[in-house]
Amino acid sequence: MEETQPTPNPRPVGPALRFVVAGLLVRDGLVLICQRRPDQPMALQWEFPGGKIESGESPEQALARELQEELGICATIGSHVTHIRHNYRHGGAVDLQFFAVPSFEGELQNKIFHQLKWVRLEELPDYDFLAADRGLIRDLAAGKLL
């Protein structure tokens, strides 16, 4: 009788991939940036508002939900700006989609961040952004995307 060997998984196990969406809220030539809290991973680094895409959500639906949860606003989700996939040194990976947010209703409320700031696009490189955002930061500051 011949023994069958288990077939090895043809795909190596890699870092967990998180699907994330973020918004570029631009008003009067300024873009909204958000600083992570000191108690979060990647503490005090800057990012754009947004978060994880939940099962069954489109990226646009996820962004509208996240902006409501994080900032208390009802946002109009605009055009897709860029898509980035980044592998972090610690092993995590993120698939990140950015959308323009041309307008929103309601007053901004800081519900989860250390601080919020409106800054000029060319000033973005002056802030310590998450590694996954740094290529986008260079392109935005150079006027390439918005």
- pLDDT single digits (tens) 118-132: 999 999 999 999 999
Domain count of the fold of the chain? 1
Instruction: Answer whether 15's CB lies under 8 Å from 87's CB.
Output: yes
Domain assignment present for residue 123? The answer is yes
Mean pLDDT computed over every residue of the chain: 91
Domain assignment present for residue 10? The answer is no
Q: What is the pLDDT of residue 146?
A: 84
The enclosing domain of 39 has a CATH number of 3.90.79.10
Assessment of whether the complete model's pTM goes beyond 0.75:
yes
Q: What is the pLDDT of residue 110?
A: 98
* Intervals of the chain under pLDDT 50: 1-2, 4-12
Domain assignment present for residue 8? The answer is no
Q: What is the pLDDT of residue 7?
A: 45
Domain assignment present for residue 131? The answer is yes
Domain assignment present for residue 29? The answer is yes
